[in-house]
């Protein structure tokens, strides 16, 4: 069957659009419903994160990291704290490490819930979004008791934490996990194995592993393409090597390896694995003082460090150059969502208008982190 | 209460035939318009509450001092309607103004005049035409013109997308819907809505109601084809591709606001009722009671008709809050590759069935 090409129409998706997940603009060239070119245009949310950091002391950077990936603030704090600690060679107490992992994994669940819920919205299913937000809300409530904030926590500090755990926190997390784990089955029944959802996502936007690696895509997007790469396992930081958990990868269960469904499903399974880690950490939680190792003054020695951690979106890394003063000389953040977005133009060519939205949603980008 | 009865009843009918006709039509149209308005408010409230129930939230609730949507938020749809009516009516500068203004009314008219042939009860039908069902199918497709006009005249790329998608979708789905109705017409031998319902009175083997859906296996399938095509014609999820919120912002209705937008909304709900009413008439026995002889008077007929129609509307609401949206090409392939062949086979099957059995 011959294909007739008409004139191309340029269409701006965004910056104000229901499913660009923030203020992203996609400049799209369309031939009817078929997309022939996608160019993401970013920068609408640029807040000079890196320049700000060069003007405040090391501990004052932490609230700024909150505002980068505002869906997973704990993980951003965590990555920054780990980096500075490695630069200063601080050893943090065991209790701090455990609590950090508990909150980071809770935040990973919250972040994935948001990603999957809004992905449901992108393909037109409204109800799973509300189910997932209902459950994410419980995690936010837990964080509220923990540090008073629901979105921007400023909880993990260099050398320790801002507060110790509140009373009954461990029991509340256990009861949350008991409530939450069966809910994953509910999401699967409602959305994951829905025939229409599979039709919309399987075989769509296939990201082959070699393309993913060459673009520097990390996190669930890379694992969706069948590459078993997780910083928590492959370059362990904190005490992640103490726990027993699996790294789910995309297997092409419903279509090709690396399609939207695989990226979606990897996140779904990762929530289960995170719950597993939290359970182990809660059981092994030692007693101690979380403020014990907090340095009086953060003044890292001259030098530089590049340290990466696994945020819900992938390989989140900080490159910090210190000149021995209490203010960072240079701070660079490697954003996993930025590399994920860069691959969009590559994998959405030739798909239809609706698919581009589905592919964009499956990459789970956060504009706060891309623009910084 | 048909228009004909009304015209005959007027004492001066022969002297001023035109005046009589216009008066009779207006007398019939006013209650229909009122009915649509009230039904739409109820349906919107029901949709809010049902979706809330499905999504584990409470939905509209009256709170605080004062009226505040009253008890259980009953006044919420009224407040919504008032808000839409009072809102500024924005017409984009570069829009084709005449078409832009006309489009919502064309859409509404398509849904509104279908009500003329809906049999609410044994005697409650505005015009019991001998081609009733054919008439409804014909005027029902009027709304697609309005949607295309809305999409084109807005001078907005999203609207254009929405308009083109909806044109393709509604016209395609009218074919399987019409073919399913043809199999019913073959079975009953009449195009009149009342005739089709009368065909369905009584029982099969004294147990099942003698509805067409139970008449033979082919009409059983035809019901599902018709109903799903009907959902597609109403642009409801999973077929809400023309207004796909996450892709096209609001599709053909992107540039509309206030009263004009309210008319699109109203006609969507009116169309849902029309589709459900046709499905009830053609397959589910219309105003016949499900249990033969039980509450089967003409007054109860209205009750049964409304109950059945509203149940189908509930089904549509249920679809909407459960299913994701199909892609435009998948929608078309379902229509042309599945529904169309099946409904053709159905016609053939019903023909053979009525030859051999009936």
Instruction: Using alpha carbons, list the distances in angstroms from residue B243 to A124, B48, B273, B303.
Output: 11, 19, 19, 33
Residue A198: CATH number of its domain: 1.10.645.10
Q: Look at residue A201 and tell me whether its pLDDT is greater than 80.
A: yes
* B323–A125 CB contact, under 8 Å: yes
pLDDT in tens, A317-361: 999 998 888 888 988 888 898 998 889 888 888 888 888 888 988
Cα–Cα dist A270/A279, whole Å: 14
B335 pLDDT band, cuts 50/70/90, is confident
Within a domain: residue A1? no
Instruction: Using alpha carbons, list the distances in angstroms from residue B167 to B81, B102, B142, B220, B242.
Output: 27, 17, 11, 28, 9
SS3 A72: coil
Number of folded domains in chain A? 1
Q: Look at residue B334 and tell me whether its pLDDT is greater than 60.
A: yes
Judge whether A142 and A172 are in contact, CB under 8 Å.
yes
* B324–A352 CB contact, under 8 Å: no
Give contacts of B55 with chain A, Cβ < 8 Å: 126-127, 130-131
Tell me how close the Cα of A127 comes to any Cα of chain B, in angstroms.
6
Residues whose CB is less than 8 angstroms from the CB of residue A1 and which lie 6 or more positions away in sequence, other chains included: none
Residues whose CB is less than 8 angstroms from the CB of residue B350 and which lie 6 or more positions away in sequence, other chains included: B183, B186, B187, B216, B218, B219, B222
Q: Look at residue B191 and tell me whether its pLDDT is greater than 70.
A: yes
Task: Judge whether A149 is closer than 8 Å to chain B, CB to CB.
Answer: no
Owning domain of residue A347: 9-371
Q: What is the pTM of this model?
A: 0.86
B64 pLDDT band, cuts 50/70/90, is low
pLDDT in tens, B141-172: 888 888 888 888 888 888 888 888 888 888 88
Mean pLDDT within B301-317:
88
The structure tokens listed for B329 are 């090409």
Assess whether the previous peptide bond of B80 is cis (omega < 30° from 0): no
Tell me how close the Cα of B46 comes to any Cα of chain A, in angstroms.
16
Amino acid A226: pLDDT: 87
pLDDT in tens, B38-55: 888 888 888 888 988 888
pLDDT in tens, B104-151: 888 888 888 888 888 888 777 777 788 888 888 888 888 888 888 888
Amino acid A164: pLDDT: 85
Whole-number mean pLDDT of chain A?
87
| ipTM value | 0.81
Instruction: Using alpha carbons, list the distances in angstroms from residue A337 to A49, A334, A371, B333.
Output: 16, 9, 10, 35
* B247–A121 CB contact, under 8 Å: no
DSSP E strand boundaries for A80-194? 156-157, 160-161
- In chain A, the residue whose alpha carbon lies closest to the alpha carbon of B330 is A199
* B323–A355 CB contact, under 8 Å: no
Judge whether A367 and A40 are in contact, CB under 8 Å.
no
* A200–B161 CB contact, under 8 Å: no
* Cα-to-chain-centroid distance, residue B290: 22
Judge whether B246 and B83 are in contact, CB under 8 Å.
no
Mean pLDDT within B258-282:
88
Element (DSSP H or E) covering residue A340:
helix A336-342
Residues whose CB is less than 8 angstroms from the CB of residue B26 and which lie 6 or more positions away in sequence, other chains included: none
What distance separates the 2 farthest-apart alpha carbons in chain A? Answer: 73
Give contacts of A190 with chain B, Cβ < 8 Å: 322
The structure tokens listed for A37 are 């070119």
Cα–Cα dist B223/A64, whole Å: 59
The structure tokens listed for A229 are 């790469």
The structure tokens listed for A128 are 């799973």
Residue A301: count of CB within 10 angstroms of its CB: 10
B12 pLDDT band, cuts 50/70/90, is low
Which ranges constitute the DSSP H helices of chain B?
3-9, 17-54, 76-86, 97-114, 132-140, 142-153, 157-188, 193-199, 217-233, 245-248, 258-283, 298-320, 328-333, 340-356
Check residues A294 and B292 and name the one with the higher pLDDT.
A294
Written as one string, the DSSP assignment of B286-316 is TTS-SSTTSS-SHHHHHHHHHHHHHHHHHHH
Residue A250: count of CB within 10 angstroms of its CB: 27
């Amino acid at each position: 069957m011959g294909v007739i090409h008409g004139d191309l129409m340029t269409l701006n998706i965004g910056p104000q659009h229901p499913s660009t997940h923030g203020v992203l603009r996609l400049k799209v060239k369309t031939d009817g419903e078929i997309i022939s070119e996608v160019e993401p245009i970013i920068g609408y949310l640029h807040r000079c994160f890196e320049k700000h950091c060069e003007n405040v002391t090391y501990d004052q950077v932490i609230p700024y990291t909150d505002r980068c990936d505002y869906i997973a603030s704990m993980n951003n704090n965590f990555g920054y704290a780990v980096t500075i600690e490695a630069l200063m060679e601080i050893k943090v107490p065991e209790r701090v490490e455990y609590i950090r992992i508990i909150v980071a994994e809770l935040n990973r669940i919250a972040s994935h819930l948001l990603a999957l819920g809004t992905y449901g919205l992108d393909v037109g299913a409204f109800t799973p979004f509300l189910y997932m937000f209902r459950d994410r809300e419980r995690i936010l409530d837990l964080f509220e008791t923990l540090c008073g904030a629901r979105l921007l926590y400023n909880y993990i500090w260099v050398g320790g934490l801002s507060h110790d755990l509140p009373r009954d926190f461990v029991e509340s997390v256990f009861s949350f996990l008991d409530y939450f784990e069966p809910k994953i089955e509910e999401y699967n029944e409602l959305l994951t194995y829905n025939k229409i959802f599979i039709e919309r996502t399987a075989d769509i936007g296939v990201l082959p592993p070699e393309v993913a690696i060459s673009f520097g895509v990390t996190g669930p997007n890379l694992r969706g393409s069948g590459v078993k790469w997780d910083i928590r396992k492959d370059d362990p930081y904190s005490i992640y090597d103490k726990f027993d958990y699996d790294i789910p990868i995309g297997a092409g269960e419903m279509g090709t390896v690396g399609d939207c469904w695989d990226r979606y499903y990897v996140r779904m399974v990762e929530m289960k694995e995170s719950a597993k880690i939290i359970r182990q950490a809660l059981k092994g939680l030692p007693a101690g003082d979380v403020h014990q190792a907090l340095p009086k003054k953060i003044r890292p020695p001259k030098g530089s460090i590049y340290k990466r951690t696994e945020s819900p979106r992938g390989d989140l890394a900080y490159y910090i150059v210190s000149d021995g003063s209490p203010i960072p000389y240079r701070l660079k953040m490697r954003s996993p969502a930025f590399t994920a977005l860069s691959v969009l133009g590559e994998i959405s060519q030739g798909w239809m208008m609706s698919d581009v939205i589905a592919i964009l949603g499956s990459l789970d980008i956060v504009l706060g982190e891309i623009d910084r | 209460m048909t228009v004909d009865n009304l015209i005959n009843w007027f004492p001066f009918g022969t002297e001023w035939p035109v005046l009589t006709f216009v008066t009779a039509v207006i007398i019939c149209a006013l209650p229909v318009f009122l009915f649509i308005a009230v039904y739409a408010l109820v349906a919107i409230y029901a949709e809010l509450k049902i979706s809330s129930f499905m999504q584990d939230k409470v939905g509209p609730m009256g709170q605080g001092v004062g009226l505040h949507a009253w008890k259980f938020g009953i006044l919420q749809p009224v407040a919504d309607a008032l808000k839409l009516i009072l809102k500024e009516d924005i017409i984009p500068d570069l829009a084709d103004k005449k078409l832009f203004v006309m489009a919502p009314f064309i859409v509404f008219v398509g849904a509104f005049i279908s009500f003329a042939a809906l049999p609410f009860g044994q005697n409650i039908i505005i015009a019991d035409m001998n081609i009733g069902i054919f008439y409804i199918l014909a005027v029902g497709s009027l709304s697609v013109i309005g949607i295309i006009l809305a999409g084109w005249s807005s001078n907005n790329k999203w609207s254009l997308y929405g308009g083109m998608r909806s044109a393709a979708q509604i016209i395609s789905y009218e074919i399987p819907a019409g073919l399913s109705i043809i199999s019913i017409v073959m079975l009953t031998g009449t195009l009149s809505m009342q005739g089709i319902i009368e065909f369905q009175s009584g029982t099969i083997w004294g147990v099942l109601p003698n509805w067409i859906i139970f008449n033979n296996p082919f009409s059983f399938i035809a019901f599902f084809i018709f109903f799903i095509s009907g959902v597609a014609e109403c642009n409801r999820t999973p077929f809400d591709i023309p207004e796909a919120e996450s892709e096209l912002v609001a599709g053909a209705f992107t540039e509309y606001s206030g009263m004009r937008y309210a008319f699109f909304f109203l006609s969507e709900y009116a169309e849902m009722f029309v589709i459900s009413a046709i499905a009830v008439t053609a397959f589910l026995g219309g105003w016949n009671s499900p249990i033969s002889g039980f509450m089967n008077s003409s007054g109860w007929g209205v009750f049964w008709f409304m109950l059945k129609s509203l149940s189908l509307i509930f089904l549509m609401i249920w679809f909407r809050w459960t299913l994701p949206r199909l892609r435009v090409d998948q929608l078309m392939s379902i229509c042309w590759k599945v529904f169309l062949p099946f409904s053709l086979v159905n016609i053939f099957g019903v023909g053979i069935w009525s030859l051999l059995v009936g």
